[in-house]
Structure 1
Amino acid sequence: MNKQQLAAKIWESANKMRSKIEANEYKDYILGFIFYKFLSDKEVQFLKKNEWTDEYIVDLNEDDAESVQMVRQNIGYFIAYDGLFSTWIAKGMDFTASDVTDAISAFNRNINPHHKKVFEGIFKTLETGLSKLGETSGARTKAIRDLIYLIKDIPMDGRQDYDVLGFIYEYLISNFAANAGKKAGEFYTPHEVSLLMSEIVAHHLKGRSAIKIYDPTSGSG
């Protein structure tokens, strides 16, 4: 999937959420589900590299303390089979919004203590904000199902010649949230400008064995 195709996929995902939430909130939901897919796929890839078959993965649950510990030690978190993104997709019409809340709750309690600073709270929007996606449980389920079905084809295998997550983040910020923080003095810096600034600084500092950078306004850049 090239950047143009990915941009179209993100736009379609955002379009599904139109009228449900503010445009500047799109990124929080879309990125949340995309990153959960990334972590879910990463765990499956790790297991398969360690000779776990699909049949074994189906039996993966929190009661298997040895497997939970092994996964947490190696990738920093654990997701049971029922909480995998691919399992949500496989459920089809049996998928419900509660599958997400249950999975996020389980994810939070299965973070490796040494990785708390990395993973704790990263899915806060999915924990507390799903009610915005529909007035009823059925409406929320449909909204989430539509969204994850769009997201499921986004490549997360690292085979692309560009940073997929980085591109998604920049696309969402530039198209839907660029104006959100201006009242607070926050501004989105286009990728091309950031790249030029980096090249200028790198040229100026070339040849130095060590450099120090102080930028209190770096934000997410």
Structure 2
Amino acid sequence: MAESKDLLQVLWSGADVLRGKMDANEYKTYLLGLIFYKYLSDSYLAKVYDLLNDETPDDLQEAQKQYEEVMKTEDAKDLLQELRESMHYTLEPDMTYVSILNDAKGNSFNREKLQAAFNRIQESDELFNGLFADVDLYSNRLGTGDQKQSATIAEVIKVLDGADLIHAKGDVLGNAYEYLIGQFASETGKKAGEFYTPHGPAQILCRIAMTGQENKRGLQVYDPCMGSGSLMLSCRNYSTEPDYIKYYGQELMPSTYNLARMNMFLHRVHPENQHLRNGDTLDADWPTDEETEFDVVTMNPPYSAKWSAAEGFKQDERFMDYGGKLAPKSKADYAFLLHGFYHLKQTGTMAIVLPHGVLFRGAAEGTIRETLLKNGSIYAVIGLPANMFYNTSIPTCIVVLKKHREGRDVLFIDASNLYEKEKKQNVMNEEHIDKVLELYNNRKSVDKLAYLASYEDIKANDFNLNIPRYVDTSEEEDEVDIKALTNSIKETNKAIKESNTALVDMLNNLTFSSSETETAINEFIEILKEV
């Protein structure tokens, strides 16, 4: 853990350079972009050194020196060809992080060189297209005038020099990156819902979706609202064959899409296992021409988002088998759910986070829900604590879906009280996560926590899945002892009378300076005698 902590401290120090100049949503782009550039550059130099010396370098400055020397020889062409094939990109010696760092230390930092390095990487392979498009090295946010702007970037580059990204294991580096994304989400608040799912719900979602598929080699994971890709990548933690997982993800926001692409590389995901796309999930189906059904579908879509709900979607294969109904224009929740479910394999599992309204709202949503229940598609419903997510304080639920299973029963779990309160958010720790998984895997009714509802139960409730209808969390009131209560009231009344008598005796012994005061006290005494 020391390695991870040191890495986090260095990366967070880089954020400190930018904090105050702009808000977290903006400076995260600079910091994460520069970290990724450093990772690609340092990995490149390490590969150069390995090809020349057959070992990993202890010192990147030495690797830089050897690279500069070999590039002056006849071997340069062959070396670059090998690097292009293995790394998918090449860098000139003066485009490396080490070279630009040396410039920054010598007060000769040049933004044009850094921009040229970005351009070289982006143009090397379509994997990297537009990856640094959001990192504006000439923005006024960095300071007023060329000198201050360059100084800001140079300072971040110097600070990040302390991060050893070569010797950090894939999970350490990737997890540090995700930790930073989580920190930015916390700072940015409501703007952050687009790119991050908090740890507790993410682990529950992934562990459930992976249950029974942990040993599958070549597992295919799909997230059509992938954000930073953290949900898909979390599935690696529960696979015995993580290096063979294929990831298929789509994201609407270009900057968040780039974040997910970086995240894949930082988790050492092989390029051939990355199938990511920048696009609108509901507008046009994807994927359609490669793999179209997946073992695992994980989703945390934007809650109750608007969509067109155009009549044409009634002929769309994703939505056409649900009583001729579409998710309403003002609430796309079921559109996202049905899209993900359409792409689920017959043997797979889907887990999606949605607001509680999907469990009980009527009209078109009621028809869609009833169809899913009649088909046995809804496997479990898990109520999460309120205030878990950065973009909403409302309570949410996880809906688990499967295709063509035996039975139509539904497991309900009420996990709304399984959390610890922290400053801004409620947090589910490992103990809470394990409890939910225990309830899920046992699939039995547990007083106050879980209920395995038969199809008849659900039908009797008019296909309403509101969790309190099935899991009774109310506490019985203590029985009242009427005899004891009567005696208590008698004792209280007796004590009141005794106190009033004593007070009347005291008031009768008073002398008065005015007739008005004496009249008022006498009226008060009469009231006390009546009580």
TM-score bracket, shorter-length normalisation: 0.7 to 0.9
The answer to whether the aligner puts 1:200 opposite 2:235 as a matched pair is: no
Distance of aligned partners of 1:191 and 1:106 in 2 relative to their CA distance in 1, 3 Å threshold: same
1:50 is matched with: 51
Deviations, residues 154-208 of structure 1 (Å, cap 9, x unaligned): 121244484313322x223222234758469636312243223222222255688
1:89 is matched with: 101
Rounded Cα–Cα distance in structure 1 between residues aligned with 2:93 and 2:225? 41
User: Taking structure 1 as the reference length, what is the TM-score of the superposition?
Assistant: 0.79
1:139 to 134, 137, 148: 148
The answer to whether the aligner puts 1:13 opposite 2:22 as a matched pair is: no
Equivalent positions of 1:1-221 (< 5 A) are: 2-51=3-52, 55-59=65-69, 60=71, 65-91=77-103, 92=105, 93-109=107-123, 111=124, 115-116=125-126, 118-126=127-135, 128-131=136-139, 132-160=141-169, 162-168=171-177, 170-178=178-186, 182=190, 186=194, 188-203=196-211, 205=213, 215-219=223-227, 220-221=229-230
Asked whether the 8 Å contact 1:178–1:187 carries over to 2, the reply is no
Asked whether the 8 Å contact 1:97–1:137 carries over to 2, the reply is no
Shift of 1:18: 1.9
Larger Rg over CA atoms: 2
Distance of aligned partners of 1:43 and 1:199 in 2 relative to their CA distance in 1, 3 Å threshold: same
Residue 182 of structure 2 aligns to a residue whose secondary structure is helix
Higher strand share: 2
Distance of aligned partners of 1:184 and 1:70 in 2 relative to their CA distance in 1, 3 Å threshold: closer
2:293 is matched with: none
Deviations, residues 30-65 of structure 1 (Å, cap 9, x unaligned): 11111111111111111111116654411438xx55
Q: Which amino acid aligns with 2:203?
A: L
Rounded Cα–Cα distance in structure 2 between residues aligned with 1:30 and 1:12? 10
Asked whether the 8 Å contact 2:7–2:164 carries over to 1, the reply is no
Structure with the bigger RCO (C-alpha within 8 Å, sep 6+) is 1
Distance of aligned partners of 1:157 and 1:185 in 2 relative to their CA distance in 1, 3 Å threshold: closer
Rounded Cα–Cα distance in structure 1 between residues aligned with 2:7 and 2:168? 14
Q: Which amino acid aligns with 2:31?
A: I
Q: Which amino acid aligns with 2:180?
A: L
Distance of aligned partners of 1:191 and 1:130 in 2 relative to their CA distance in 1, 3 Å threshold: farther
Asked whether the 8 Å contact 2:185–2:192 carries over to 1, the reply is no
Deviations, residues 116-137 of structure 1 (Å, cap 9, x unaligned): 1x111111123x3542312211
Moved more, 80-89 or 203-212: 203-212
Residue 69 of structure 1 aligns to a residue whose secondary structure is helix
Residue 211 of structure 2 aligns to a residue whose secondary structure is helix
Asked whether the 8 Å contact 1:43–1:75 carries over to 2, the reply is yes
Moved more, 140-149 or 66-75: 66-75
Rounded Cα–Cα distance in structure 2 between residues aligned with 1:95 and 1:156? 22
Sequence identity, in percent? Answer: 26
Higher helix share: 1
Distance of aligned partners of 1:36 and 1:214 in 2 relative to their CA distance in 1, 3 Å threshold: closer
Distance of aligned partners of 1:18 and 1:199 in 2 relative to their CA distance in 1, 3 Å threshold: same
Q: Which amino acid aligns with 1:200?
A: I
Rounded Cα–Cα distance in structure 2 between residues aligned with 1:71 and 1:211? 29
Shift of 1:6: 2.7
Rounded Cα–Cα distance in structure 2 between residues aligned with 1:8 and 1:35? 16
Q: Which runs of 5 or more residues in structure 1 are unaligned? A: none
Rounded Cα–Cα distance in structure 1 between residues aligned with 2:44 and 2:25? 30
User: Taking structure 2 as the reference length, what is the TM-score of the superposition?
Assistant: 0.36
